[in-house]
Amino acid sequence: MIEKTLLLVKPDGVQRGLTGEIIKRFENVGLKIVGMKMVWIDEEFGAKHYSDVKARRGEKVFNAVLGLITMGPVVAIVLEGVDSVEVVRKICGPTEPKAALPGTIRGDFAHVSYAYSDTVDEAIRNVVHASGTKEEARNEIALWFKDDELHAYPSVQDIHILHYKAAHIKRMKPTK
Amino acid sequence: MIIAKPAAINGGLVNEILAIIEASGLKIIGLKAEVLDVHHLEKDLHKEKDSSKKKLLEEAARIPSVLIAVEGSTAVAVGKKIKEKYDWKVHVSASEEVGKYEITRFFKENELFDYNKVGDLLEKMDLREKDFKGNFR
């Protein structure tokens, strides 16, 4: 029920100064930031992150997404909350910004289509990445964060949004 | 250097602080969430005899802070405004000198990044370039 998921503010989002605006969406709904850091990954790391893309979408797409994710620093965030994988995906909107509704991150901060990004030989600049499934979230969090970079802590959200009781909070243990 | 302290995380204010920095045209060159040693809390901990209260203090000491390394000519001035607005929920470097010291004290070299924001790229790009296709790489 309560789970963690990985969100990346991709280099295009960082360079456009959207990090604060993006985090706002998640803080507002009461998701808890349990890990956060700025990192500039190399291609080797990027290949691990997109390990399934080559088989699923082909070499060309793989190289394109790799080029985009390594072009500058990203802000990696681990968000914790009820069904957070699904909720965070919902807040991000669909992969193609053209199809993303207003109110979603991609709908509000991007508009381009797949067809357009093909014409500039680039992966689609859709501002964020979010884990697709619970399993993917577990793998991605393990890839991006060391254990001591994840923090289990009590917050006002626990009480006001999750309706935790004090005893609940006392029992909280670091979990992955 | 700007630190969003545990109270800022708990108040859901991290986004506001980052947005002010970004909207001011400053560049975030380093960012991480880390649990800082809270000396006064530790002192309280040792004094506290009530075990349940002690437990709560221990929990509070686990709340991380968000450390933000900021670059730009107006970094100290913007920091002051943030301090005015958020008061004890943040720490900001009082001067450029202090800022430099604090950044090297809290960030490792490989945690700081030199990159172009969109504004930098526009300045550097030759817009007369014939094959310019709107690609900002």
Cβ count near A120 (within 10 Å): 14
Query: What are the sequence ranges of the domains in chain B?
Result: 2-124
A18 interaction partners in chain B (CB closer than 8 Å): 22
pLDDT over threshold 80, residue B122: no
Order of strands, sheet of B2-4, starting from the edge strand that comes earlier in the sequence: A128-130, A2-9, A74-82, A32-39, B27-34, B65-71, B2-4, B90-92
In Å, how far are A122, B49, B103 from A66, measured between CA atoms?
10, 55, 30
- Non-local (6+) Cβ contacts of B91 within 8 A are B2, B3, B5
For the domain A2-150, what is the CATH code? 3.30.70.141
Phi, psi angles (nearest 5°) of residue A55: -70, -35
Q: What is the tens place of the pLDDT at every residue in A108-160?
A: 999 999 999 889 888 999 999 999 999 999 999 999 999 999 999 888 777 77
Query: What are the sequence ranges of the domains in chain A?
Result: 2-150
pLDDT at position A176 is 44
Phi-psi region for residue A83, left (φ > 0), alpha (ψ -120 to 50) or beta? left
pLDDT at position B37 is 75
Contact A36 B17 (CB under 8 A): no
pLDDT over threshold 60, residue B134: no
Please name the amino acid found at residue A85: V
pLDDT at position A82 is 94
B interface test, pick of A15, A21, A31, A150 with most B CB neighbours within 10 Å: A15
B16 interaction partners in chain A (CB closer than 8 Å): 20, 24
Q: What is the tens place of the pLDDT at every residue in A1-53?
A: 899 999 999 999 999 999 999 999 999 999 999 999 999 999 999 999 999 99
Answer yes or no: are the C-beta atoms of B45 and B61 closer than 8 Å.
yes
Nearest residue to A141 (alpha-carbon basis) of A52, A34, A57:
A34
- Catalytic, A168? Answer no
Pick B2-124's CATH classification: 3.40.1280.10, 3.30.70.141, 3.30.479.30, 3.40.50.740. 3.30.70.141
pLDDT over threshold 70, residue B136: no
Helices (H), B24-74: 39-47, 51-60
pLDDT over threshold 90, residue B127: no
Provide the pairing of β-strand A128-130 with B90-92.
unpaired
Answer yes or no: are the C-beta atoms of A20 and A33 closer than 8 Å.
no
pLDDT over threshold 60, residue B135: no
pLDDT at position B87 is 93
A interface test, pick of B10, B82, B135 with most A CB neighbours within 10 Å: B10
Percent of chain B predicted with pLDDT > 90: 60
- Non-local (6+) Cβ contacts of A61 within 8 A are A53, A123
pLDDT at position B61 is 79
pLDDT band at B86 (very low <50, low <70, confident <90, very high): very high
Q: What is the tens place of the pLDDT at every residue in B90-109?
A: 999 999 999 999 999 999 99
pLDDT at position B56 is 67
Phi, psi angles (nearest 5°) of residue B65: -110, 160
ipTM over 0.85: yes
Mean pLDDT of A68-79: 97
The span from the CA of B65 to the CA of B102, in Å, is 15
Mean pLDDT of A87-94: 98
Contact A154 B19 (CB under 8 A): no
What's the gap between Cα A42 and its chain centre?
18
A19 interaction partners in chain B (CB closer than 8 Å): 18, 22, 28, 31
Nearest residue to B73 (alpha-carbon basis) of B24, B127, B131, B129:
B24
Q: How far is B10 from chain A (nearest CA, A)?
A: 5
The span from the CA of A111 to the CA of A99, in Å, is 8
pLDDT band at B128 (very low <50, low <70, confident <90, very high): low
pLDDT band at B137 (very low <50, low <70, confident <90, very high): very low
The span from the CA of A152 to the CA of A155, in Å, is 10
Q: What is the tens place of the pLDDT at every residue in B32-78?
A: 999 987 655 556 666 777 777 777 677 677 899 999 999 999 999 99
pLDDT at position B62 is 84
